[in-house]
Amino acid sequence: MRRAIFPGSFDPLTLGHHDIITRGLPLFDELIIAIGINADKKYMFSLEERIRFISEAFKNEPKIKVNTYKGLTVDYCKKVEADFILRGLRNPADFEFEKAIAHTNRKLSEIETVFLLTSSGKSYISSSIVRDVIRNGGNYSVLVPDTVKVN
């Protein structure tokens, strides 16, 4: 079984994330969307909200599971017996950052990282931009799946 994880904070899930997940599905038998928990980070959305955004967005996709984890991503991969990490790249800066992480993960374990380029119409979207739009009362709905709702 080809199992991959797609790790991130998903604060919130964006159309960029959705694009990578959807396009990554044919590559794997199972894709675990792994929400990392970092006690030092301040999130806009609660963990429960982030799980709900993702679960509802992919409720009709049996190959997707949503889980949370703490600690090193490679340790989580070992725990769930994932052979791959799926990552999206929006720009050259993402590539340089993600390349360093992928090399480190490969040094620490046998895990392979699979990179997909975000579709051009979504490459400008990031969770931090979405959070800024939300904080300032902008129309965030054009940047996220319909399942992301601000209360």
Q: Is 11 exposed, middle or buried (0-12, 13-18, 19+ CB in 10 A)?
A: buried
How far CA 96 is from CA of 82, 99, 121, in Å, comes to: 24, 5, 21
Q: What are φ and ψ of residue 84, in 5° steps?
A: -140, 150
**Ordered domains of the chain (ranges, CATH):** 3-142 (3.40.50.620)
90 is catalytic: yes
10-residue averages of pLDDT along the chain (151 residues): 97 97 97 93 95 98 97 96 96 90 92 94 93 96 95 76
- Which residues, 6 or more positions from 49, have their beta carbon under 8 angstroms from its beta carbon? 12
pTM: 0.93
User: Which residue among 18, 50, 87, 127 is the active-site one?
Assistant: 127
User: Which residue among 41, 42, 107, 120 is the active-site one?
Assistant: 41
Residue 89 bridge partners (DSSP): 117
> What's the distance, CA 121 to chain centroid?
18
